Structure 1
Amino acid sequence: MGKRTQVAIIGSGPAGLLLGQLLHRAGIDTIIVERRSRDYILGRIRAGVLEQGTVALIDEAGCGERLHREGLIHTGIDLAFAGERHRIDFANLTGGKGVTIYGQTEVTRDLMDARLAADAPTIYEAERVWPADFDCSKPVLHYLHEGTERRIACDFIAGCDGFHGVSRASVSEDKITVFERAYPFGWLGLLADVPPVSDELVYVNHERGFALCSMRSRTRSRYYLQCHASERPEDWPDETFWAELRRRLDEATAARLTTGAAIEKSVAPLRSFVAEPMRFGRLLLAGDAAHIVPPTGAKGLNLAASDVHYLSQALIDHYRTGSEKGLETYSARALARVWKAERFSWWMTSLLHRFPDTGPFGRRMQLAELDYLVGSRAAMTALAENYVGLPY
């Protein structure tokens, strides 16, 4: 059984859904194929610090109404070290810019609802998905659905199916170059229905390890602790987690901490990863399918959005004018921004975490850099410019 569309999209996470919505509004037909169920995708807990460029792109897709109503505008972060907190004032340093706190699950829900309202097709619980013939002019997406082998003939395939997806795996190894660094620790995250300890995010460098105080709303908080990558959530009862978090916070912040039962608890490994190029004939990668950043710089979802910005522009231009220029330059344009975000995320990770192999010297270097950072407007500006998002 076969279907035909202009762009077949693999993956219904934020990247695939955002691309689909932007193309739909430009009159371009898409079909999204997803191996998971809708409920599974909406059950995934992810971060939600959105750059202004990401918010603008969601607005362009016509999906920003609830984001603007419920999202929290932050114009700074706190860096905590040596028992004190220091605010980095984004608005003052970047001409009024900030970030919006709005969970990735909520972004996904809004985009799913918009796609459903547009009657644009999404095929959930597709098995054995595999892109083929993308090195010629007639690519095909094969999959199994409800026991039947099916295929989608298309002009282009967009691989938005994440780090473990089939899109990048379908490319011959001799045509792709991978750059990767795995970090020797992970993040233990706990989500709880308690008010945040601070109005804005607090990034903590402590001799016992990194910590982050974040939030999803004014009544739901997300906290993280640096832990060994091999540790499991069940190794950390709630009371153990809260006690360790208090140890890593300064006294004043620890005194304001409200604790509660965990809604969700998980351990995420940290890695930096880039695959080059991001285009292989008529297969184009976007988001985590092509790159991963450690979450320290809050760039994962935002990088997926910037990829979609470049890719949607290229496809819309192709269908409107017949031009191939945007498609030919897509990989280079996207990767230029990817590598800057990789650098920032690597730097933030190196600055704030305890590394087992650097010893007392490395610890002193971190403290010296932090002390310099909070005393230098130039250094704080560099952090602020990257955190709020470099221009597309």
Structure 2
Amino acid sequence: MHDSSPLTGGVSTRWWHRISKDKIQCDICPRQCHLSDGQRGLCFVRGAEGGEVRLYSYGRSSGFCIDPIEKKPLNHFLPGTPVLSFGTAGCNLACKFCQNWDMSKSREMDTLSQSASPELLATTAEKLGCRSIAFTYNDPVIFHEYAIDCAIAAHQHGIKSVAVSAGYVCRGPREEFYQHMDAANIDLKAFTERFYQRICGGQLSAVLETLEYIRHETNVWLEITTLLIPGQNDSDTELTQLSHWIAEHLGKDVPLHFSAFHPDWKMADTPPTPPATLTRARNIARDAGLEYVYTGNVHDRGGSSTWCPECGHLLIERDWYQLGSWGLDEKGCCQQCGDPVPGLFEARPGHWGSRREPVRLYQPTN
């Protein structure tokens, strides 16, 4: 693990190379920032110093909460259990609709309110009864080294690691990162390069590569989320293309979540997503053959519950993040027809419910 105090100049990193006498290139994500000494990348937390790229947010975190795992959202990964969620500052995309812009767009390290070593996070999660820790609120791609060390510490305490990411990462760091993750929810923000370029400042193709890598080359449990923005990425044509791509390239059993946009950041004048849009998107995806499609951010029992694709039996009832009836057997199969349900399930669901609790970290005692 890295040894660094948040009061120092950060930690050394390995994903970079020199491109000239005066510049180095950060290789963590496809943005590939070219940096002179003393210059930060777009993410702001990785920068050039002393002839290398250093990470300045290592051990500095914010937003500590215990959430239901369904809030990540993950519906097929230890349902009903609590997860310790946290993030850092900065982001390697520039999404105009960012819902966590106060953290992801921050250029102030004071946003990172607490010093949190990987071991302290793991100990806190264990003492609070969390089954997993989640790197969320901003993208763990940019705090790569910190997230990996936290995952290693968590595993030593029997706690799983969850990445909530936009998947905008280069091949080498991607392979290293997902060796340490147990589950991931990847934001597939749209299905056109135009949207990614104009709204996010990124590339769709890089995200699709990440999705295929996680699905076919790792054992990481994968779910996908698409935030639907009225007039931007919610047309029938685009939703059909997105759904068919998932079915053909990832598999019909990969869970897909459609969530509702709320006006924020630089798109405060865009109207919120009508619930009917989420229902329409879910129907389109199911017509394309996807077996587990969910609606989010709305009260929709039918759209947020898990149904057996074989016999139609209700497997996991959900209302928002609250679980109801449980139709899985102890092996994670449909109690009615025996069809296996993909994911990580236990004989009994957790009972954390829908509550969200801010937490303070357990400080070590002498």
TM-score range, shorter chain: under 0.3
Normalized per residue, which structure has more strand?
1
Please state which structure has a larger fraction of its residues in helix: 1
**Normalized against structure 1, the TM-score is what?**
0.22
Pair member with larger Rg: 1
Taking structure 2 as the reference length, the TM-score comes to 0.24
Q: Higher relative CO (CA 8 A, sep ≥ 6), structure 1 or 2?
A: 1
